[in-house]
Amino acid sequence: MSMNSTPASLARPRKYFSLQRVLLCALPLLVLMLWIVALSSLATAGGTATADSPARMSVQVPPAAKSAPVVMLEMNIAVTRKASAKHLGAVVRVRPPGGSAIEVGRVSLGGKDGSYQFNVARALGQASAGSAEIEVEVIDRDGGEPPSGAALTIGRAQFVTR
């Protein structure tokens, strides 16, 4: 037996993978995954609006909306499929938390993508928390039937208080 060697009864195998180490290393990954899922639900575009069904998107109502004199809905609407309608347009509605949908405006859609603003202070009323649903419906601004081949998408929507 040499001086540098340890007796077999004292030598223990090293534990490189304990359950505590694995969980401690996986915790930041779990937090990152939850953060990505939460942000992806905010960043995704709304559904596609067609003549048969409107596009819908949920948007957080800022706490300052309850006392702000002006609350603006800023949004992008993209034409993903143009129809034969001479004057393609959209109706924008807001459904506050616990309320019914209220029309806040109508827009004409000439190009592929456009940014629009609507004052929604009356539509939101005294809603101070939660999320409101934005709804965009395809219309023919000339008064005819909604164009069957058109499709619109909500690209971005947010409430801004002033």
Report the alpha-carbon distance of residue 90 to residue 49 in Å, rounded. 9
In a domain, 121, yes or no: yes
**Contact call for residues 48 and 149 (beta carbons, < 8 A):** no
- Sheet containing strand 113-119, strands side by side: 48-49, 151-161, 71-81, 113-119
Q: Which domain CATH number covers 92?
A: 2.60.120.260
Residue type, 138: V
Total domain count, the chain: 2
pLDDT digits over 12-38, tens only? Answer: 667 677 888 888 888 888 888 888 777
In a domain, 1, yes or no: no
The torsion defined by the Cα of 121, 126, 129 and 132, in degrees rounded to 10, comes to -50
pLDDT in the model for residue 10: 63
pTM of the model: 0.69
**Residue ranges for the chain with pLDDT beneath 70:** 1-13, 15, 39-46, 85, 127-128
Q: Residue 26 is part of which domain span? A: 14-43
